[in-house]
Amino acid sequence: MTPGIRPLVAGNWKMNGLGASLDELSRIAQGFMHGLDAETEALICVPDTLLSRAVERTKGTPVRIGAQNCHTAESGAHTGDVSAEMLRDAGAKYVIVGHSERRTDHKETDELVRAKAEAAWRAGLEAILCIGETRDQRDAGQALQVLSRQVAGSVPRTATGHNLVLAYEPVWAIGTGLTPTVGDVAAAHAHIRGELSKLIGDQAARIRILYGGSVKPSNARELLSIENVDGALVGGASLKASDFLAIAEAYQQLP
């Protein structure tokens, strides 16, 4: 946790969820309506096909809806792509950019990720920008170096605490049940804050840095209590309302 920063617990449904999964979303929204601390911001990033319906389901609740990717252009001849403006039009408030699955599957570079963050801002969305090292990079002792390169290459210099959230997701921890040690998470987050500070100065202290990678109810409290961890980006466990709510509750119970 970082004093003075509102924590964010965000779910990323990835390419999961048909209409029926909106019932889980309704349960999440109910959980935040009744009993969960309003100090913790809640967000679910759904597939584009569910955006409008998800916004409808969460209307009047504290849960916000986001998307998982956007094109850099506002409109044009880009078959199959969706612009940040279109996501905003459908009711999204956030968009994830540079998730490692997109960096790998679609060969997204730091430069492209930076352009997507800027496209998100042009449309009035907040960007959740993902960075993180692979297993090989960690084993080679290059994790912090990789994070430095990704921050310098993909974070626009106009980033502020109002338009950017950073997510540290070690690639090897995503969907594997593995997590870094508390010491490694603390070192990575402190390093990211330092690199942000070199890039954007004082605003670095205002930017939320989420941890992502196999967050579940049983490890949420430990992970979320680490210094400079300002919330979580949750994949698999965000598909089940009871798990997602338990993760958010873990945050609420921190001293």
Ligand X SMILES: O=C[C@H](O)COP(=O)(O)O
**Numbered residues of the known binding site:** 12-14, 175, 214, 235-236
CB of 75 to ligand X, least distance (A): 27
Residue carrying the six token digits 């109910």:
30
Distance CA 182, CA 225 (A): 9
From candidates 17, 161, 180, 213, binder to ligand X by CB under 6 A: 213
Catalytic entry in 169, 189, 195, 249: 169
Distance CA 85, CA 90 (A): 9
Catalytic entry in 24, 71, 85, 99: 99
Residue carrying the six token digits 């040690």:
181
Q: Is 99 a catalytic residue?
A: yes
Does 21 participate in binding ligand X (rule CB under 6 A)? Answer: no
Under rule CB under 6 A, which residues in 172-201 are in contact with ligand X?
A: 174-175
Residue carrying the six token digits 């849960």:
63
Residue 71-110 contact track with ligand X, rule CB under 6 A, x = bound: ----------------------------x-----------
Does 169 participate in binding ligand X (rule CB under 6 A)? Answer: yes
For 59, counting Cβ atoms within 10 Å of its Cβ (0-12 exposed, 13-18 middle, 19+ buried), the class is exposed
Distance CA 61, CA 32 (A): 7
Q: Which residue is nearest to ligand X (CB)?
A: 235
The contacts of residue 46 (CB under 8 Å, 6+ apart) are: 13, 17, 25, 54, 65, 66, 67, 68
To the nearest 10 degrees (0 to 180), the angle between helices 182-200 and 217-224 is 50
Under rule CB under 6 A, which residues in 47-66 are in contact with ligand X?
A: none
Does 231 participate in binding ligand X (rule CB under 6 A)? Answer: no
Does 233 participate in binding ligand X (rule CB under 6 A)? Answer: yes
Residue carrying the six token digits 């300002």:
230
Q: Could you list the residues known to form a binding site for substrate, using ranges.
A: 12-14, 175, 214, 235-236
The contacts of residue 17 (CB under 8 Å, 6+ apart) are: 46, 47, 50, 239
Instruction: Give 97 or 215: the residue with its C-beta nearer to ligand X.
Output: 215
Instruction: Give 91 or 236: the residue with its C-beta nearer to ligand X.
Output: 236
Q: Which range, of 47-55, 138-146, 202-210, 229-237, touches ligand X by CB under 6 A?
A: 229-237
Q: Is 108 a catalytic residue?
A: no
Residue carrying the six token digits 């994790």:
143
Does 42 participate in binding ligand X (rule CB under 6 A)? Answer: no
CB of 195 to ligand X, least distance (A): 21
Distance CA 99, CA 47 (A): 14
Residue positions annotated with a catalytic role: 99, 169
Where do contacts with ligand X occur on this chain (CB under 6 A)?
Answer: 12, 99, 169, 174-175, 212-215, 233-237
